[in-house]
Amino acid sequence: MHLGSSGSPHTGTAGSTGQARQAALRACSIAVLEPLERRLFLDSAYANIAGTWHAKETVTYTLRTNGKPETGKESGSDDVTIYQKGNKVWYKRHWSVMGSSGTVTRSGTIKGNHVTLTGPFVIVAQGVKVATNTCTLQGNLVGDTLRLTGSGHASGTADGNSFTCDGKAIGVLKRGPLFTWSMPERYGIRSKLSGLIELRNSYDYVNPRGYTLNLDASASSRNVPSKNVLWTVRGNGLRKPRTARGKRVSINDLPQGTYAVTVRITMKDGVKTSSPTKVWLRDILIVAIGDSYSSGEGNPERAKGFFSSALWANGVTDAMARENAEAHRSTACASSLAALQIEKADPHSSVTFVLLSQSGATVDSGVLGPKGGSESSSYTLSGQIDELRRIVGQRKIDILTVSVGGNDIGFADRVADLVKGPLLQSQEQELADIQAKLTPALADLPRRYANLARALGTFRVGRTIVTEYPDPTRDDSGEFAEFAGDYWWPLKIDRTEAEFAYRNALLPLNSAVAKAASDYGWRLATDIADDFTFHGYAAADHWFVTNTEACALQGGGILGISSGSLHPNAMGHHAIAGIVVEIMRAELAKVPAPSSS
């Protein structure tokens, strides 16, 4: 710490990803523009998203229409222009690949934290050379319109669709499936009273009696009475087939697994019967454990008011809500955002999400054992492992995210030491004293991670994802910078101290996290520190909650220091979620559908 700017600025590289990656990440972090879907997730704090976003890299895109994806890659420049007027939103996505260019347009309405986009959509491809201008659209499209100019190709199934190219119908226009199916969403449901996402950390939520299968044949039975539509569901150990009548029906209390579904529609000109369609009823259990970086500290569901405290995650019951408040849990955290993206991406599956992370948790106190609450020291939070066992029971966890280790080395305390600075001593002695505290704590991390791995080994887990810690020490240019000047003005961390914090605390901490991931077969979410390179605490476009912001959002603590400071803000959590969700998708895609019996 020093009263003014001192120390020499860092002149090394600003991270391995570069400015282009940062621009692309920012373009996708406020609104999830990739994949392009009917619903884009938005954080309510950033509802105003009008503007043009530009990414110069290869972009993999997915258009979803009625749940069916059409995927591809676009190389080169990629501009997305978003227009907004009040709660109305629309965008145009311009692309250029292999000599062709085109535009995708969508429109919708902001309601709560989501933009619901409606079709039909139009893809316009322009070009003259057949070899470099082949446009392909595949999948099941019901009630949408595709127009192509130039040479093109369309294949798949069509029911009530229009495929034209230069005014001529093209493609394989065969009859579409007689029905579509989906599962109701389980995570992301908002309370009718508070409007907040419900965080149901309970055994009954994780282990329901069964799941619901929604079936829809309305597109194929427009002029048919509902009684003439008969559904049959077989397989997955059902003693006898489940049947129902109606154009749209819901079959409840089904266990997870694969079923064979048929629909029989009696029409004036005869009977249409679908072939048995394989349906995989899949609910994905995602659990997050760890410390304040994964609990959502610094990002309450609602900011404090003049006469009211900050509001944390809606726990459904008073007891759950109290626990969430004491743990400072928020559905704005990265693991929650990733779970929401998985939930929204596929109508053929659902997500069950459990958030047990606690602000201030260490491996020993908070994860493996109990700890005091964040609001009241007399409140005891159960150890997360014990609570996880009570909630999950014997069920397999599909994805487990872990963020822990920062409090174990006292990272926040060491930052406070740096802010306070040397008292009647040189800066060299100050840093030596801090190093003396860091060294034994870092040396003890392997023992703590080994104990954590043993505890996690008692659960059935598909994949454990461990996240590294982001870097708060840099400015907009990626250089080490003075920061934390809003702790005890005019005291602050200078550039020399910022570089010390990075090299002697953050780097060894993340190395220990990576070593544990390698030792115990966990998947490491890398690039988090690099992606924060240009968004440190002192950056104008910072991805950390400053102390000033934290005091306004959730209040200050002792001497005006808020526990919410120095944690990822909404943008930071979106950035981390973007990395984590790609790992989740890759791991979930490896799981084959069970056989129907």
pLDDT tens for each residue of 317-341: 999 999 999 999 999 999 999 999 9
| Domain extents in the chain | 31-174
Q: Is 60 exceeded by the pLDDT of residue 40?
A: no
Confidence of residue 177 (pLDDT cuts 50, 70, 90): low
Residue type (1 letter), 284: I
Q: Is the pLDDT of residue 45 over 70?
A: no
In this predicted model, which residue has the larger pLDDT, 232 or 94?
Answer: 232
pLDDT at 109 over 50: no
When mean pLDDT is compared across 286-295, 362-371, 542-551, the lowest value belongs to 542-551
Most confident segment among 36-40, 86-90, 138-142, 474-478: 474-478
Whole-angstrom distance, CA of residue 391 vs CA of residue 285: 12
Phi, psi of 529 (to 5 degrees): -60, -40
431 pLDDT more than 90: yes
Beta bridge partners of 115: 40, 110
What's the confidence (pLDDT) of residue 270?
81
Q: Is-cis flag, bond preceding 120, omega within 30?
A: yes
- Nearest-CA neighbor of 261 among 236, 284, 239? 236
Residue among 575, 580, 576 nearest 27 (CA)? 575
Q: Which of 277, 285, 275, 207 is nearest to 235 (CA)?
A: 277
pLDDT over 70 (residue 291) = yes
Q: Give pLDDT, residue 597.
A: 64
Q: How many CB atoms lie within 10 A of CB 189?
A: 12
Backbone angle region of 296, left / alpha / beta, with phi > 0 → left and psi within -120 to 50 → alpha? left
Sequence-ordered list of residues with C-beta below 8 angstroms from that of 233, at least 6 positions apart, any chain: 213, 241, 242, 243, 251, 254, 259, 260, 261, 279
| pLDDT in the model for residue 561 | 82
Task: Identify the pLDDT of residue 88.
Answer: 55
Could you list the beta-strand ranges (E) of 406-474. Answer: 461-467
Q: What is the pLDDT at residue 380?
A: 97
pLDDT tens for each residue of 263-284: 999 988 788 888 889 999 999 9
- What would the mean pLDDT of 402-416 be, rounded to a whole number? 94
Between 246 and 56, the higher pLDDT residue: 246
Under a CB-based contact definition with an 8 Å cutoff, are residues 113 and 43 in contact? yes
Q: How far from the centroid of its chain's Cα atoms is residue 25's Cα?
A: 13
| Helices marked H in 207-315 | 292-295
Q: At residue 179, does pLDDT exceed 60?
A: yes
Render pLDDT for 216-250 as a digit per residue (tens, 0 to 9): 998 888 888 999 999 999 999 999 999 999 999 99
Mean per-residue pLDDT of the chain = 77
Provide mean pLDDT across the span 383-405: 98
Question: Higher model confidence: residue 199 or residue 134?
Answer: 199
At 265, which helix (H) or strand (E)?
strand 257-267
* Identity of the amino acid at 88: K
Residues 219 and 214: their CA atoms lie apart, in Å, by 14
**Across 100-104, 218-222, 303-307, 406-410, least confident range:** 100-104
Share of the chain above pLDDT 70, in %: 69
Using alpha carbons, select from 385, 402, 395, 404 the residue that is nearest to residue 285. 395
Least confident of 169-173, 459-463, 487-491: 169-173
